[in-house]
Structure 1
């Protein structure tokens, strides 16, 4: 749908003798005079459940392009009989709360978008959107928002500055935006949208309504210096660091980001993980420079999930090539712009020490009404390893009509290492077909060459891999009113996996159902069965292991707060049989997280996980494997207290205890058979602790004072075990490998 706002906007401008008098004041109150001339929208339809029927509660919205930015107003009718969930959440935090969403594609081409969320309590979430429906909330933007509440409902207002994102040069004084609006009533789980499309559908971003607005321009020069002081109580040392980020946006068609000694997010701690597999753990990135305008470079390639990508910014400043600490990033720069109908981006970063690396990326895209293509080249120079890595990529997207969506990408790598060259390629294609009546199909194919190497700059779970998957989906929304379920989304999938060497990894079939409940919660159930096959990664290149059939069963349930009850509950149950013992010897796992809402500003949470695996298969060097009987306890607990609108206190405690006892040692023979051997493989235990108390004071938008106390440690022991997992878990609380107090100040100056 294409909507023209120009006539009404011009009429509104003519009616304003003093332009400033017509500016929208973002106070959360819908003033008819301020919104005079705005486009009024009341055609909201249910998208959760995805029936596209009229909603139970009316929603009105106003859309207005102003010189200061894109203004959006929501009026959400919600009488006293419909509970309002208004608890505060941290920025980009999850929560079952009443909220409204603005989704904007500033170029109107379906390539990239932005999500702005405001909750009833005036908490916010902001995220980038790529590949139709892949959200990334690492990015934080500077935009205005406010809410108000009365007996009949609540209202929200937003103002999104024009400089917030790169945009193509507009023609004829107008700009075409892609817009979607929605509202969520948390107590019932209802989501109503305009247009009536849900982000879980194969096509989301490209289906936004096209809205023509005046091509306003804004400039911004923002400098954010920061200083950090750290006192190390274990090393009896102190450290001081400083740096600055710069964002210069003279217009939408050209934006520059730069950083000197970039802020490495010392106050943002990664979750504790235990990973003994051959695949590395993926971590998100909250460093401001590396999230600003980064969605243009987010080319996802290499797996069915959303982690694999060609640029993984955590590589920059990661563990140094000489193994001595982390890389010291001296400076980095990023350019985004448009010219001649093309969008372009340039990224460069340098680590200045002797083991430092240099990173470069160049990307360009061109989009038409139903077709678009892009290309990217990256280069990483690693002098300490005598290594250089080049990657070249081409991608296309084609939406021939409302039913079909086709996405594909081709990638090639060229790596020189110690005088030797390695070249290979890969490709992926995703074809979605909406059959109507709630039915849809998807075909996904992936090829990763044996010598394809993307992890100098990107994140690729593995190479030497071929994958084909067919998925048939059915959405059910016409459930009886008496049912506790509002909708079901069924998926039936079949897949095949094999390596470029011809090794059959596995065939699999799976069925899952994702359901929305009328209490505002959700439920997920899945059953998967893998055929007998091979694991070609577990021995790290020392042979291919035959595996029997494998079974996966999973159940998840979120039950939100009901009525006046302060309690909510998340629960997960899993069974996964993936060892040598077959389907009867799988890992059992249970996770429970009760939350207690003391008030709208104070939340207590405690997640506890217990898992038992009678047949945990681990690599123990060469072609040797050990099957262990293991138990593990994990705790994730803490509190979030929003003292007032500027102050936040967060306490987080994570503890892990694990005990693993050898059941049998194996050697993998040349035919892939596991042969039981009488060899010594020690039992082991693991304890891990992460504890943080963090106070944050917001001085101004994107300007903060942090005070943080951090303590942590890890203990890995091998040898005969005389204790059980409970002891390893309790021992975690005594660990003190690190203990620090940190003060950080960052302030954003806009010029």
Structure 2
């Protein structure tokens, strides 16, 4: 610990090898120097004998795959939240938050400075992180922060940390170094207006949008955030997904207002349950039959105190297609006590177009029971009022325990009611579920006689049912992951699924019986080779109604020419028993062949200028086998032979980005997307892809500028 009377400057030269988890001391590869004043922390990180530069493009605010450093800062002692700042050798950065329950989240955007200097046999990152990025528990000038620094090699195969842990382990936040600091407690106002122009080529129409965000930090413990007409923007395209299942596709948040000062609302649970999923606000509603709406305005107030944090978020949507927009009011109070936290949540959503009111209340608790044991539990209640009224409860418990550096146990148990409904502003993959999961990992690091750095053996079991007490498949898996001394990765696994029912396929109608299944999986990820990196994954097994299936995935990253990077991804899926829900209790079985291609090129001809091109293609051919009527006991009754069909989608984006500063940029993009369907399965994948490209159901030119005032 650094005492308050001492100069707040220091040098860290001793690091621990935490991946592989040998915990050996390393003193000659990495050093970190820092100095603290009332405005923030100044740092310089020196990396000796660096890895070969990975042959791939890295984009700001995206997870890195090549060598980089991370700086973790927790603004309050005994916190369950921290902020992460990362820089790589190319001076590309990302920032985000770390939560003891949910891990890293890169939705948060901070304000900080950095640059990188490269020389023979070393590189140095220099920067400054202001204290006004953080919300402190008190308004007093004297504060305590927690600090941890780590260096990650290519593909995160090897990690050096200033403490003997890393973010994948339970005791991570409790291992930070404590620093006593003085802060200025000044006000800070940031204003980010934007203008965007979208020209739709299909119907020759134009759309102009003007809006902006205001972030006002009244003092170091109180913030007020406002936004007017925030937009998703066509700057970053979501991945192309063709989804025939009953599980909704999840997309992350991209709007700056909803990624800033939002960590207080982070409540998550098994089945990817997220109590506040902000893309719902202004996004496409799955409650109404209406697309995305504009947001008139939104505001958020956050106040941190010694006992915890309180926050209030309100938003109002614009009226679209003669339908009134929704109104959102979200409240969150979080009480912190030493190594635990207790939260209260309230979400209110009004949907006037269908006379619907949704109220979701939640309680959640997290405790770092010991440095190696964490516990999380919660309960939520949803009440829907309107034409279709419902009310139900969900509760969960999660626990992680590390007996030592070798044995790791994870337990998850949850009960989500049949009528639980948080979808007005939340997200969950499945409801109507009672489920228990257990996972055990055994790490082996001491392997001096063989060319392996680490082996991880993993086994897991999943037992589940629903509120009809139907027998859902029991899942058991066994896998091993091996990292060689040259940083190649191999993974092998097997999963077994018992006979049981699928209660999601028919969207709430009769559950269908699913035969016993199994799968074998093999994965290989190469080290950084002179020409790039290769990754392969192959899966083979039996699924659904005893049909064989196979899946092959290949990716290749390379530097095509100086500063021109390429990424190529190919996926091929074949199934002899692919099931598609038609209506009510009717399910059709097909032989499916699906092909996916994803090609990306990136050209950074300076730190300010970047050209990015991406083309995604999906084509599928479904050969009909049989249509079935699912009976009440889960058996299937043949009705007729199903018809063949084929489908394809294409999405293309060409984007130019000019960065005036870290938070100011100009974007110009050209995008198109196309969908194609046919009643034949004899068309080639090449023909299907060509037809999807020709369709151009969406065809746009887009310009956007967002600047910092």
Q: TM-score range by the shorter chain?
A: over 0.9
2:332 maps to 1:336: no
The 3-state SS of whatever aligns with 1:436 is coil
CA distance in 2, matches of 1:187, 1:83: 12
The residue number in structure 1 matching 2:474 is 507
The residue number in structure 1 matching 2:528 is 561
Q: Which of 93, 96, 99 is the matching residue for 2:62?
A: 93
CA distance in 2, matches of 1:340, 1:99: 35
Question: Does the aligned pair in 2 maintain the 1:144–1:159 contact within 8 Å?
Answer: yes
Q: Which of 550, 555, 564 is the matching residue for 1:593?
A: 555
Q: Residues 290-329 of structure 1: matches in 2 within 5 Å?
A: 290-303=258-271, 307-319=272-284, 323-329=289-295
CA deviation digits over 1:517-557, x for unaligned, max 9? 33334333332111111111111122011111121332232
Structure 1 residues 289, 184: closer, same or farther in 2, change over 3 A?
same
Structure 1 residues 494, 526: closer, same or farther in 2, change over 3 A?
same
CA distance in 2, matches of 1:629, 1:76: 53
The residue number in structure 1 matching 2:568 is 606
The residue number in structure 2 matching 1:693 is 654
- Post-superposition offset of 1:443: 1.7
CA distance in 2, matches of 1:55, 1:694: 43
CA deviation digits over 1:230-273, x for unaligned, max 9? 22211112221111111111222011211101132321111100
Question: Does the aligned pair in 2 maintain the 1:86–1:121 contact within 8 Å?
Answer: no
- Post-superposition offset of 1:680: 4.8
CA distance in 2, matches of 1:263, 1:188: 34
The 3-state SS of whatever aligns with 2:268 is coil
Structure 1 residues 611, 187: closer, same or farther in 2, change over 3 A?
closer
The residue number in structure 1 matching 2:602 is 640
CA deviation digits over 1:550-581, x for unaligned, max 9? 2133223222422xx12211222123532112
The residue number in structure 1 matching 2:705 is 745
Q: Which of 168, 193, 199 is the matching residue for 1:225?
A: 193
The residue number in structure 2 matching 1:539 is 506
- Post-superposition offset of 1:500: 1.7
2:391 maps to 1:423: yes
CA distance in 2, matches of 1:699, 1:335: 30
Question: Does the aligned pair in 1 maintain the 2:344–2:362 contact within 8 Å?
Answer: yes
Structure 1 residues 4, 599: closer, same or farther in 2, change over 3 A?
farther
The residue number in structure 2 matching 1:375 is 344
Structure 1 residues 637, 84: closer, same or farther in 2, change over 3 A?
closer
Q: Residues 171-250 of structure 1: matches in 2 within 5 Å?
A: 173-186=141-154, 189-250=157-218
Consecutive unaligned residues of structure 2, counting only runs of 5 or more, are none
Q: Which of 450, 453, 457 is the matching residue for 1:490?
A: 457
- Post-superposition offset of 1:350: 0.6
- Post-superposition offset of 1:340: 5.0
- Post-superposition offset of 1:376: 0.8
Q: Which of 9, 20, 25 is the matching residue for 1:38?
A: 9
Question: Does the aligned pair in 1 maintain the 2:56–2:557 contact within 8 Å?
Answer: no
CA deviation digits over 1:88-127, x for unaligned, max 9? 5211234432211101111233321111111011111112
Question: Does the aligned pair in 1 maintain the 2:55–2:558 contact within 8 Å?
Answer: no
The 3-state SS of whatever aligns with 2:510 is coil
Question: Does the aligned pair in 2 maintain the 1:468–1:496 contact within 8 Å?
Answer: yes
The residue number in structure 1 matching 2:317 is 351
The residue number in structure 2 matching 1:578 is 543
Q: Which of 14, 22, 30 is the matching residue for 1:59?
A: 30
The residue number in structure 2 matching 1:287 is 255
The residue number in structure 2 matching 1:31 is none
Q: Which of 650, 657, 669 is the matching residue for 1:708?
A: 669
Question: Does the aligned pair in 1 maintain the 2:154–2:528 contact within 8 Å?
Answer: no
The residue number in structure 2 matching 1:77 is 48
Q: Which of 399, 403, 407 is the matching residue for 2:368?
A: 399
Between stretches 67-76 and 664-673, larger displacement belongs to 67-76
Question: Does the aligned pair in 1 maintain the 2:589–2:642 contact within 8 Å?
Answer: no
CA distance in 2, matches of 1:576, 1:655: 25
- Post-superposition offset of 1:342: 2.3
Q: Residues 242-281 of structure 1: matches in 2 within 5 Å?
A: 242-281=210-249
CA deviation digits over 1:35-83, x for unaligned, max 9? xx5122122000111111123843211232222212232122217xx64
The 3-state SS of whatever aligns with 1:234 is coil
TM-score (norm 2): 0.95
Q: Which of 514, 520, 526 is the matching residue for 2:487?
A: 520
Question: Does the aligned pair in 2 maintain the 1:683–1:721 contact within 8 Å?
Answer: yes
CA deviation digits over 1:402-426, x for unaligned, max 9? 23211111111111121x5422111
CA distance in 1, matches of 2:4, 2:604: 42
TM-score (norm 1): 0.90
Structure 1 residues 322, 442: closer, same or farther in 2, change over 3 A?
closer
CA distance in 2, matches of 1:86, 1:629: 38
The 3-state SS of whatever aligns with 1:504 is coil
- Post-superposition offset of 1:170: 5.4
- Post-superposition offset of 1:186: 2.4
Q: Which of 724, 727, 731 is the matching residue for 2:691?
A: 731
- Post-superposition offset of 1:128: 1.5
Alpha-carbon RMSD: 2.0
- Post-superposition offset of 1:643: 1.2
The 3-state SS of whatever aligns with 1:285 is coil
2:614 maps to 1:652: yes
CA distance in 2, matches of 1:282, 1:720: 31
